Amino acid sequence: MQWTWARFQDLGVDNLYDALALRCRVFILEQGPYLDPDGLDRHAWHLLGRGEGGTLQAYLRVVDPGARCAEPSIGRVITAGERRRSGLGRQLMAEGLQRCAVAWPGRALRISAQAHLQPFYGEFGFEPVGVPYLEDDIPHIEMRRGGPSDATHP
């Protein structure tokens, strides 16, 4: 897997197009309609994983602290349908967490996880915060991983 870690303005049109196309395929066609471009892409790092032949197979973004919540926030975590249950999702999360550790050393991370994926994110040290809620008619739960108290980070 070839990984690209870039800010929005550095993605380039091809990476941006491929990321939005994969997000649309998974989050809109598979899961139902909602507005995917939410205004946070410009305030995030983007991780793209391309397989042999250059096809985008995995993607996530990490929204800057303060743009969505106090901590850096991982979201839009996806793997292409044909690559699910292959271990690529775990590889994607491991790569994303490694990049976050460099960008925000020692900092807590947050994720708004689909509730059924709580055990998956738990494997990476995320723990539930609060109670489940509906987001776009899908049960979600806020989860947090490590780091000192938010009060120590502006």
Q: What is the pLDDT of residue 65?
A: 97
> String of b and e for 81-100 (b: at least 16 CB within 10 Å)?
eebeeeebbebbbebbbebb
Instruction: Outline where the chain has alpha helix (H).
Output: 12-23, 88-103, 118-122
Domains of the chain by residue range? 2-152
pTM listed for this prediction? 0.91
| Tokens coding 103 | 């960008």
For residue 154, what pLDDT is reported?
Answer: 37
CA distance 35 to 76: 12
CA angle 30, 34, 37 (to 5 degrees): 105
* Amino acid 31: pLDDT: 87
The pLDDT of residue 151 is 41
Question: How far is residue 115 CA from its own chain's centroid?
Answer: 15
Q: 109 with 146: CB under 8 angstroms?
A: yes
Residue 148 confidence (pLDDT): 59
**Class of the CATH-defined domain 2-152:** alpha beta
How many angstroms separate the Cα of 142 from the Cα of each of 56, 86, 113? 27, 26, 6
Residues 6+ apart with CB under 8 A from 37: 20
Low-confidence ranges of the chain (pLDDT < 50): 149-154
